[in-house]
Structure 1
């Protein structure tokens, strides 16, 4: 990606959205879900725009997959679960695992960097959250959609901030 500042802004927005979702996961689950849904839509749209502007197939593909996952997760959250909530559970599981896989893919490309482990950890957190939603274990976390979304937004934000700072380091000044 040529514009590292855009990724930095998206990462900071994602971190803020995650913190806001974590501050109130139980007492205002609907508000946290709505907030996280809008934050995911906004982050996904910016990631999609960033993917469109990216040079190179690998960068475009990784950012595009992450953007699609964020957009779909945001739409599912805003329009609510369909039926008995099983669809939401499976969709959220799939999207969290896809988002984690995209982060793990991005981590492959910065293996020698000092901050490689942050992006790798963010991908692992997303995959782990997907498995938590799928299995329902542990019960206190699986029942709190706001906490799961807050953690996913924070993992997404951490990965984007690290990737943007890494990109800034190697990008020529214009």
Structure 2
């Protein structure tokens, strides 16, 4: 198989993946609660996997203190994962609260950075980003727990949708380049 045919096949798969990502992103925007619950479920399973990894580490460390530490960390991961899987809506509220806190801290950092760059090109944009992040964080927090029904799913949907579009445009550009090759 030639390099050119491998590139064409890869680009075809990349375009297909892009379209799938766009569809998943649109679904998440149409059904943000379902998307949020799905995200919470994935995080729950990842926590269980992390707990299993710490159990594995506990079997391979040499000191008693390390075994106890790894076992305690594994229990924390297992507890968090099981809780999220059994109570996805409560986990969704917690995830929304964490997102709100993240945006608040990010906004404060952007404001501090923007004031430090005042008078320099781009400094105003950093200030605007900080103010916008703080306002969004406060809006999400003020509407908890009802904002949990749409915030995580909407944010994930927007991220997947934009990733799908950017991947599609990149894949189409790559296809033009491969097609133009002799």
Shorter-chain-normalised TM-score: which range? 0.3 to 0.5
- TM-score, L = length of structure 1: 0.37
Instruction: Tell me which structure has the larger Cα radius of gyration.
Output: 2
RCO comparison, higher one (Cα < 8 Å, 6+): 2
TM-score by structure 2 length?
0.36
Please identify which structure carries the higher helix content.
Answer: 2
